[in-house]
Amino acid sequence: MNKKVFLISNLIICLVYSFSSSAQVHRSELIGAYLYNFAKYTTWPNEHQLNSYHIALISENPEIIHEVKKMAASKKIRNLPIKLSILSSPSLSLQAQLIFLTREKSNYFLETFDAIEGSPTLLVSENFHDKRVVMINLYDTPDKKLLFEVNKANIINQNLSIDPEILLIGGTEIDVADLYRQSQLSLRSLQKRMDIMNDSLQLIQAKAATTSATIKKQQVKITEQEMFLEQYKEEVQRQQEELNLQLTEIGDHEILLEQQYDSILSQGNIIIQQKAEVEHRNQILKKLEQDIDDKNQDLEKKNKVLGDQTITIERQKDILFLSIAVIFLIAALAITLYREYRNNKRINIKLREQKDEIEDINEELVTTNESLSDTLSKLKSTQSQLVHSEKMASLGVLTAGIAHEINNPINFVYTGINSIRKDFEDLTLILNEIRNLPTEKDDLEQVIQKIQNLKTEYDFNEIIEIIPETISDIQTGAIRTAEIVKGLRDFSRIEKDEKHMANIHEGLESALLLLRNKYKHHITIERNFGQLPEIECLPGKLNQAFLNILSNAIDAIEEEGKIEITTYSDDDQLYVSIKDNGKGIPQNIHKKLFDPFFTTKEVGKGVGLGLAITFSIIKEHNGTIEVKSEEKRGSEFIISLPLRLDS
Amino acid sequence: MLFQLMGDPKPTVLYVDDEEINLRIFKSTFRRKYIVLTANSAKKGLQILKERKVNLVITDQRMPEMTGVEFLKEIQIRFPHIPPSRLMISGYSDTDAIDEAFKVCQLYRFISKPWNAQELDLIMIEAINHDG
């Protein structure tokens, strides 16, 4: 009763506070009341040893501090006083029974949560966002109510038990499962995002790889070009050196020319001196009148010579300049020609290298081709050998049967004739008596008596009975031998490769004849032959196909059994169904039936080419082959062949 | 020869073959010198052996139900005390079976079809004398 009254009063407090106008103050009061109730509804495992309940308030909110202080001073929990400590950080609070971290201290929450984990301390938070880690969390609703939520899992983890009725005073329980789901969802979305990022990373990596490959290629190209440039540089350097050499030569020439010029100049000076001397002498000679004219003439002559010399000197100068220009031109020409020639040579070398390479590749291709066609022809010959050996194998299996089959009727003929000959010898004795019948009556009776005796002695009556029997036996032997030989001949049409019109029923009969010895004792053959037109085919090969299937059908029947052969046709196709009631084919090997070398028979009883060859024969005739089989019930092979090969 | 010299009656020969014509021809060929008993299966042959004294057994190898070798083995088991000569006549037979017959079944000779009457006659006499 008390409890209920208390609860109702609390609820009224809550409601009153939440509708009140001075919300902030009353909110703090409400917090105080909540804290008191949290302590009241919680049971600590060690509380019987306590002499007070320690509440640690970690807050800087003066109103909350004030209200909680008020609460602590006025209330008792289970008759024990409340010891309140107000702290700014959680470090000293860890021994408390209840720690309340207000909103502004939320940054300490996780640290505190980890520190008290497993110890009997209740952690109360205010508006903490992560519901997974809270124990009791006070929160404000959009319509300004203050409520709390309880995460029981975390409280239980602290060895604390909490009265479920706590929820009646304004609490809700946190759905842990939902939290888990949400976290899983967010984890999943993170994973997806990671996958996407991974994918794009891989894409980028792939791109990077291709880019680095192209970069490598380009690097290789660049190194090639660098090498080429290097060569080119060397070339240029060499040419420059040559040019320098030529330039120095030209410089030498210039020096020589200057020297010559100098010498000419000095000669000119000498001439001028001589001239002065001559004038001086003229003055002297004027006085010396006799020599004047001669000397004048001489002087004129000398003057003339001098003029000539200056002209030649001028000419020599011109020639020198010209030759220098020509030399320059020639040098430039030579350099360009030389460079051109080098380039051509290099290109030629490259072309030749490429040509050689192509030739090498060609040779390789030719040898590869040769070895391939060699392998092909080897494969072909192996294939034909295998096909041949399978034919031989199936013939070998048949030989025993055929030998027995043919030797019996031959024996009829062989021995039957012998028997008739002996019978005839006996008869001859009697006939001779009849032939030499005497004319006398007395003798006649005697002879008749003799004949009677002979008849008894040689079983005349038996001979007369036996002879027709023996003759018909011989006939049977002869007919059967002829049939077998015909069957063999039909079968051996294999060798002919030309298609011609043939009757399918004859082919089936010849195959049956060859197999008779394998089935005659325990298998009945039921022929449901329809009306079939002759078709264009390779009869020998078709017979081999029929023989393979029939032979398998016979092998499938272990004791008594039946093989039904049904033939029918429609407008375009004819059908041959060979159905046995033997052991059937297991489902798991249906697909392998026509594979070459697949066999269920023991070693030496067939190499596993029978149905593969059959398949290829039917395919060669544009036909199909279908298998229906059930284990322990039997198998049915249905061959369909087009009536006209071109269709 | 010995039989004839000793004035014995005709020797009795049992011939087993699934081919009726072979039986008939054999009988008509040898009826003059032998009492010929024939059976178209090994089973019937065993029945005859139970009832009649036989000097020589001749059998085909390839027969339904019981082969010649199996027939000879069965004789060994059922009539161990009588030692009739054994011949085998067949159109064809795998050598393994014949070897076994020689080793286990006291087979005297293997004759392949088609047989020659005179030769077979000589072998039959030889086999009977060899035994008796």
Q: How far is B113 from chain A (nearest CA, A)?
A: 6
Task: State the complex-level ipTM.
Answer: 0.74
Q: Which B positions 64-123 lie with beta carbon below 8 A of chain A?
A: 64-65, 90-92, 94, 112-117
Residue A120 inside a domain? The answer is: yes
Residue A185 inside a domain? The answer is: no
B47: CATH: 3.40.50.2300
Instruction: Using the 3D structure, point to which of A120, A149, A174 is the last residue of a domain.
Output: A174
Domain count, chain A: 2
Residue A163 inside a domain? The answer is: yes
Ranked by mean pLDDT, the top range of A179-183, A218-222, A566-570 is A566-570
Any residues with CB less than 8 A from the CB of B34 and at least 6 apart, and which?
B10, B11, B12, B13, B124
Q: Report pLDDT for A87.
A: 86
Chain B: residue whose CA lies nearest to A401: B92
A564: CATH: 3.30.565.10
Q: How far is A597 from chain B (nearest CA, A)?
A: 26
Q: What is the C-alpha to C-alpha distance for residues A122 and A158, in angstroms, rounded to an integer?
A: 7
Considering only CB atoms, B115 lies closest to which of A411, A413, A517, namely A411
Q: Which residue has the tokens 């004849």?
A: A513
Q: Report pLDDT for A175.
A: 76
SS3 (DSSP) at A322: helix
Mean pLDDT of A10-17: 52
Domain count, chain B: 1
Residue type, A251: G
DSSP codes, A395-437: HHHHHHHHHHHHHHHHHHHHHHHHHHHHHHHHHHHHHHHHHT-
The predicted-structure confidence for A104-134, as pLDDT tens digits, reads as follows 888 888 888 888 888 888 889 998 888 888 8
Residue A51 inside a domain? The answer is: yes
Mean pLDDT of A198-223: 87
Chain A: residue whose CA lies nearest to B64: A521
User: Residue A387 pLDDT more than 80?
Assistant: no
Terminal CA-to-CA distance of chain A, rounded, Å?
Answer: 103
Q: Please give the radius of gyration of chain B, using alpha carbons only, rounded to the nearest integer.
A: 14
The phi and psi torsions of A24 (rounded to 5 degrees) equal -60, -50
User: Residue A21 pLDDT more than 50?
Assistant: no
Find the domain containing B32 and state its range. 2-131
Residue A85 inside a domain? The answer is: yes
Q: Is B19 on the interface with A (CB under 8 A)?
A: yes
Residue A602 inside a domain? The answer is: yes
Residue A244 inside a domain? The answer is: no
The phi and psi torsions of A162 (rounded to 5 degrees) equal -125, 135
Of A576, A569, A573, whose CA–CA distance to A547 is shortest?
Answer: A576
Mean pLDDT of A568-587: 91
Alpha helices in A131-175 (DSSP H): 152-157
Chain B residues with CB inside 8 Å of A417's CB? none
User: Residue A23 pLDDT more than 60?
Assistant: no
Instruction: Using the 3D structure, point to which of A139, A174, A209 is the last residue of a domain.
Output: A174
Considering only CB atoms, B21 lies closest to which of A404, A406, A473, namely A473
Q: What is the C-alpha to C-alpha distance for residues A541 and A447, in angstroms, rounded to an integer?
A: 68
B117·A470 Cβ contact <8 A: no
Of A628, A617, A622, whose CA–CA distance to A546 is shortest?
Answer: A617
Which one is predicted more confidently, A225 or B92?
A225
Percent of chain A with pLDDT over 90: 13
Averaged confidence pLDDT in chain A: 83
Q: Report pLDDT for A390.
A: 66
User: Residue B5 pLDDT more than 50?
Assistant: no
Residue A419 inside a domain? The answer is: no
Q: Report pLDDT for A19.
A: 46
Q: How far is A402 from chain B (nearest CA, A)?
A: 9
Q: How confident is the model at residue A11 (pLDDT cuts 50, 70, 90)?
A: low
The phi and psi torsions of B129 (rounded to 5 degrees) equal -65, -40
Q: Report pLDDT for B36.
A: 94
SS3 (DSSP) at B87: strand
Mean pLDDT of A594-614: 70
Q: How far is A477 from chain B (nearest CA, A)?
A: 9
Any residues with CB less than 8 A from the CB of A467 and at least 6 apart, and which?
A420, A423
Q: What is the C-alpha to C-alpha distance for residues A227 and A210, in angstroms, rounded to an integer?
A: 25
SS3 (DSSP) at A46: coil
Lowest mean pLDDT, pick from A367-381, A394-408, A563-577, B20-34: A394-408
Mean pLDDT of A481-500: 70
Find the domain containing A595 and state its range. 501-642
Mean pLDDT of A420-446: 83
- Nearest-10 Cα torsion for A318, A321, A323, A326: -130
Q: How confident is the model at residue A24 (pLDDT cuts 50, 70, 90)?
A: low
Which helix (H) or strand (E) is A507 found in, with range?
helix A504-519
Q: Which B positions 20-49 lie with beta carbon below 8 A of chain A?
A: 21-22, 24-26, 28-29, 31-32
Give me the numbers of helices (H) and strands (E) for chain A, helices first please.
Answer: 12, 17
